[in-house]
Chain A
Amino acid sequence: MTKTNLAGIGVFLLVVFVAVPMMIAVSGRWDFYYTLTSVALLSIGSAGVWLTFYIGRINIGQGAYALMGGYVSAVLMTKVGVSFWLTLPLAGLFCAVISVAIGLPILRLRGVYFAMITLVLTEVTRLTALALPVTNGAKGITSIPLPGALTVFGVPLIPDFATIENPKLAFYLLAVTLMVLTYAALWRIVNSRLGHLCRSLQQNEELASSIGVNTAHLRLLAYAISSFFGGIAGAVFVAISQSIYPSSFVVTDSVNFMLYCFVGGLGFVMGPMLGTFLLYFGWDLLSVAREYQLLIYSAAMIALMLVLPNGVLSLFDRREGPK
């Protein structure tokens, strides 16, 4: 890692953990907390989608795992009484396990065939949530308690969110922390042997297997990590809204996760984060255009794809390979 990289990371951490809360406190725009928390959580989901792109698969099904993760957390908290902090990793793991079962047959498919099946996944998950007794059908699960205190070996790490003066800030910090951890992990994956193997898979699966790569396992691994991220994002969303319904994550959300990756740049680890920020924030800002919101947004998307097919980050860096 170069010095410029380290400096960049330092500035980034300073901005998200210190500057943003300060600016919101000064300006009094508390509503930005909700927007930025959403951006942070959605970018965790898009980090996963980005990783499936990295093995050469178009994943339009991340909404399914966000929904699953949300339900796992909600059910465990309300029906079993498990602490939110424990449901968080469990939601991720549940999604990872399910994704292995789903990925086993479908990851053999390539290109548009894989994409189409993942597109259906979100709808299947929604319908499953509607049908299962444990998810309480269309009424969903409501009145989910806020995250309680987290103590490890008697050391209080995180206070009970219900007693916190400013839960918005607390959720923002939680989301941003998870986002930073996710992208640190993603960066490590891409720059370690695992990432090199993923690239080999993306560029030529036959050659990858000829050099001894178990391509089926590697695809499953990448997809499981991707779905883990999706589940985590979903679980935190549920904790914030304190409710979940079958329509909490729909096909549009899955498509958006994919678009965030495209806009940011598929060749850049930070691509999905930037893409999520730009699109989510951009959509919010465009609400002043009222009925033209979608028109302007779509036109901007098309223009972006035409002018910057490799994502916004390709503006700043013309090197080849992973960044």
Chain B
Amino acid sequence: MMPILQIKNLTKRYGGLTANNDISFDVAEGEILSVIGPNGAGKSTLFKQIASFVSVTSGEVLFRGKTISNLAPHVVARMGVVRTFQETTIFKSMTVRENIIVAHHLRSKASLLGFFLGSKLARADEAAFGKSADDIVDFLGLEAIRNELASNLPQGHLRALGMAIGLATGPTVLLLDEPFAGMNHDETMKMVASVRRLRDERGVTVMLVEHDMPAVMKISDRIVVINFGEKIAEGTPAEIQANPRVIEAYLGSEDAAIGM
């Protein structure tokens, strides 16, 4: 089966600085793949390149065999590759439900003029979005804060809302940027379960960047490790944990030399 995403020799240079160098790997349909690496390794740049928020210097990203590199982000989103954000990026002065409803944009059948005139199609869309938003709220267990203003939410809920927004677009591939950051253990475990169900029940392929190693080991089918902009390992969680290059990258060679 053709991989759903193919990352081919992806390189990003900012002037003389190389953020990513020649990174290649595939993502299979329906898998949960994590990208890990020390701070500043280039994970976020990689993510932004895949979602076309950042151009590629060379190399390309293929989605179902078609290139999605250097397109506009909304075009890539329309094709089904949607990212969430590392920062707590949400629509602050909307309620949770409004956030999710507005994110249904890609699913609207009516035109903006149709919505303006309140056409039959537009009203059907509105009803469908409302129902789908409520489904997503239930799916992620956000019932208690459904009508809460997003700017009032605590960190953990903001991450969940970010994921809800991504989910509302109806993605084929969802790129989650540090979905567990700022969460306590319980919240993380709940989120891990949600991401798994996302894949199991909705068939979404999930790619995530994350620092929380226990969560990564628990959730991932496969892991790609990046260090200094280069891919240094790829494999199952067990393989990654035993890989000497990964251990070296994470602990540092000097520390390893003194026996840590």
Contacts and interface: CB of A to CB of B under 8 A. Distances in A.
A69 B193 CA distance: 59
A234 to B, nearest CB: 24
Contact of B102 (A188, A197, A209): A197
B149 interface: yes
Contact of A193 (B53, B84, B115, B149): B115
B124 to A, nearest CB: 12
A200 B85 contact: no
B103 interface: yes
19 contacts: A188-B116, A192-B116, A193-B108, A196-B101, A197-B112, A204-B89, A206-B53, A207-B89, A207-B90, A209-B53, A209-B73, A210-B74, A210-B84, A211-B165, A211-B169, A212-B74, A212-B77, A214-B72, A320-B149
Interface of B: 51, 53, 72-74, 77-78, 82-85, 89-95, 98, 101-103, 105-106, 108, 110, 112, 115-116, 118, 122, 125-126, 149, 165-166, 168-169
B51 A196 contact: no
DSSP class of A's interface residues: helix, strand, loop or mixed? helix
A57 interface: no
Given A196-B102, A211-B82, A203 B74 contact: no
B105 to A, nearest CB: 5
Contact of B73 (A192, A193, A196, A210): A210
Given A203-B91, A210-B51, A194 B115 contact: yes
Contacts of B53: 206, 209-210
Contacts of B126: 193
A203 B106 contact: no
A211 B94 contact: no
A211 B106 contact: yes
Given A188-B116, A194-B112, A206-B53, A211 B89 contact: no
B142 to A, nearest CB: 17
A46 interface: no
Contact of A321 (B90, B93, B118, B165): B93
B166 to A, nearest CB: 8
Nearest to A214: B74
Given A188-B116, A211-B165, A200 B77 contact: no
A131 B102 CA distance: 47
A215 interface: yes
Contacts of A193: 105, 108, 110, 112, 115, 122, 125-126
A125 B72 CA distance: 33
Nearest to B165: A211
